[in-house]
């Protein structure tokens, strides 16, 4: 066994490599809810419910571990993130990028993208169901239980 001296540059390089494997994962994620016929206005409103914006002018996302071209970039507190969406041929969306350091509140290794996709799907479905029920004269209230599940209470008007 040979011991190699670790200079400052080697230590920094090793830390960067380890940091990548510990914290950052670049992914493309789709969900069944958002895989076709997504209404763009409703998507923007659902993202707003989560405190997330959509910048349609920024078409490139990147961080230290990846980059991609997207149709729009997700924003948090007015700042561009390393997450974006790409419209599919069925007018669904593909979520692309890395949630690490995006301040969405759940950047846990390789589960952040799936968690974000699920939260967006849930917010979108809630908005869609409320809209459909209100068109049919139902009053709709949503409640979130302790497990994060949304429950809709419907009362016919």
Burial 123-140 (b: 16+ CB within 10 A, else e): bbbbbebbeebeeeebee
Question: Helices 112-135 and 40-49: crossing angle, nearest 10°?
Answer: 120
The pTM assigned to this predicted structure is: 0.78
Q: With 90 as the cut, is the pLDDT of residue 96 above it?
A: yes
Burial of 147 (0-12, 13-18, 19+ CB in 10 A): exposed
> Lowest-pLDDT range, 54-63, 114-123, 146-155?
146-155
The residue extents of the domains of the chain are 25-124
pLDDT attached to residue 15: 54
What average pLDDT score do residues 36-50 get? Answer: 95
pLDDT band at 8 (very low <50, low <70, confident <90, very high): low
Minimal CA–CA distance to 106: which of 145, 68, 52?
52
What average pLDDT score do residues 99-103 get? Answer: 81
More confident residue, 22 or 114: 114
């Amino acid at each position: 066994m040979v011991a190699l001296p670790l200079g400052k540059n080697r230590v920094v390089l090793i830390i960067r490599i380890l940091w990548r494997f510990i914290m950052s994962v670049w992914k493309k994620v789709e969900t069944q809810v958002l895989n076709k016929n997504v209404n763009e206005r409703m998507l923007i409103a659902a993202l707003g419910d989560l405190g997330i914006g959509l910048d349609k002018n920024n078409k490139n996302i990147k961080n230290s571990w990846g980059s991609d071209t997207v149709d729009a970039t997700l924003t948090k507190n007015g700042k561009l993130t390393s997450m974006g969406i790409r419209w599919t041929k069925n007018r669904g969306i593909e979520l692309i990028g890395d949630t690490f350091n995006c301040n969405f509140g759940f950047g846990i290794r390789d589960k952040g993208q799936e968690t974000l996709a699920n939260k967006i799907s849930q917010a979108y479905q809630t908005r869609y169901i409320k809209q459909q029920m209100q068109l049919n004269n139902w009053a709709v209230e949503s409640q979130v239980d302790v497990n994060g599940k949304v429950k809709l209470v419907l009362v016919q008007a």
